[in-house]
Copies of this chain bind each other. A is one copy, B any other.
Amino acid sequence: MLGLMQDWPLLIHRILDHASRYHGTSEIVSRTVEGPIHRYTYVECARRSRALADVAQKKLGLKAGDIIATMAWNGYRHMEIWYGLMGLGAVVHTLNPRLFADQLEYIVNHAEDQYLFLDLTFVEQMEALQEKIPTVKGFIILTDRANMPATKLRNALCYEELIAEGDAGFVWPKLDEQSACGICYTSGTTGNPKGVVYSQRSHVLHAMALCAADAMAISSRDTVMPVVPMFHANAWSLIFSGPMAGSKLVLPGPKMDGASIYELLDSERVTFTAGVPTVWLMLLQHLEKHPELKLPYLERALIGGSACPEAMMVAFEKKYDTRVVHAWGMTEMSPIGSLANRSGATANFGHEQWWPLQLKQGRPYFGVEMEIKDDHGKVLPNDGKTFGHLVVRGPAVARAYYKGEGGQILDKDGYFDTGDVATLDQWGFMQITDRAKDVIKSGGEWISSIDLENAAMGHPAVAEAAVIGVPHPKWDERPLLIVVKKPEMAVQKEEILDFLKDKVVKWWLPDDVVFIEEIPHTATGKISKLALRQRFADYRLPTVQAAE
């Protein structure tokens, strides 16, 4: 027996329909690549998005299922492409301009992008790449005629000229809500990037779930600034959930330095913002240099992408009275997976009891299921101590990568393995303790490399510390602590091990400590465990020599 409710598929265009109908005068404010601040309303955004859909169909020949790419900052034209082309049923593939040229070449060819929409910033980068991406029939430059550059890009079109030919009376087609609407490639540390393919349904449900008062709690009274780029995991849904809530939107364009971000936060009276710690570090440094500056409008800052340092949270909360919402997610999760909001059970916790929870990555909202499992797929207890593979389920979680890359990615219960190792506590808060590939497996038990590193970092002579697992005939793996000493500081192996003794359980103590000049880092500033494992591939622990 089926229900007798209306057939109302969950389609992206409905979000903009709602915003333009009920919050039509609310603004979208963009810092443009050309320089000036641009501002218009949801009504105008909807009108131009429909015109774009119309001209994309008429002139570019785009139809439902066709894939196009964007390489653009957060701005109103980029937003029109999302709504206009997803509304048409096309699939918008966001390119991260920070990728290496060979990665960009790989993913454009893998996705077989038909057109590429790009900001002025990226014209040269694309000129250099265009011969290697033959599926791209033309390049649409997001500017007007006056700012069009002389370019060697093939079939280069001016966005404003193109959209001027579109009919704003375009009527959105009725699509299957399971239709693809977006692709974002994960920057996997091993192997080629893999494409996550979002559906109209998954993005709408993700945005609905995040609009909840118990999740991001954004409303039409909010002014929302996604500093996190649209090419970085869908700007954490804010280009969808903002208009769904009817919020005013502020899009910072290419300028993400502290002064530029501060300027928008202040002049546009932003109440809710979101971004990675690096951006907030720049903002806080700018504020420190100008003690007269405050953040009187900013109520909440969503911080994720990597763990928010405690000092950053303290600065926001104590100094600027801005609540930090620590968040976690991944491209495969659309991307938000958890948010560190107080729950009913933790609402009355005093600061001392609450603070350790706020430092965790948060709790799932309705629409995300989460478990930790051991190597055999057994669900582990939620005691805040036991750690295991973090696995997730939900309507906005990937079930496969584009073109089947990576094969079957769900476990027997339908969970996606995040590749993270985490704990879950009795209040539902999750804490990432390690990447699964970095955890040290000693005698069937796990040792967190991150916990050991943090403990070692507490020693006054240690500038930086890294821990990797190295082979051991009896225990499979044992931890090796790699240390960079602070300049002019002398410290011995035994001293450091002694220091760790009351900080970690005995069997976690590293089997050896080595001192090196510099620890290798990845492009995003994280310790490169891969490089360390390669460097110490032939290393033999003294305990191994002893055992032989």
Taking beta carbons and an 8 Å cutoff, which residues of A are in contact with B? 1-8, 10, 14-15, 17-18, 21-23, 25-26, 64-65, 67, 91, 176, 178-181, 196-202, 205, 208-209, 211-214, 216-222, 244-248, 334, 341-345, 347, 363-364, 366-367, 369, 393-402, 410, 414, 416, 428
Contact = CB atoms under 8 A, between A and B. Distances in A.
Contact of A212 (B176, B211, B398, B428): B211
Contacts of A248: 344
Given A5-B199, A23-B343, 15 more contacts: A2-B176, A2-B179, A2-B199, A3-B181, A3-B198, A4-B180, A5-B202, A5-B398, A6-B416, A18-B364, A23-B344, A208-B367, A214-B245, A220-B347, A221-B343
Contacts of A345: 23, 25-26
Contacts of A1: 64-65, 67, 91, 179-180, 197
A202 B205 CA distance: 13
Nearest to A368: B18
A180 B1 CA distance: 6
A246 B399 contact: no
A197 to B, nearest CB: 4
Contact of A6 (B214, B347, B394): B394
Given A22-B343, A213-B218, A347-B221, A395 B6 contact: yes
A361 to B, nearest CB: 14
Q: How many copies does the complex hold?
A: 2
Contact of A343 (B17, B218, B220, B393): B220
B7 A366 contact: no
A212 B67 CA distance: 32
A360 to B, nearest CB: 14
B6 A245 contact: no
Contacts of A17: 369
A401 B344 contact: no
B23 A393 contact: no
Top 7 nearest A-B pairs (CB, nearest first) are A3-B199, A1-B65, A8-B395, A22-B428, A5-B202, A4-B197, A213-B219
A211 B219 CA distance: 11
Nearest to A244: B366
Contacts of A202: 3, 5
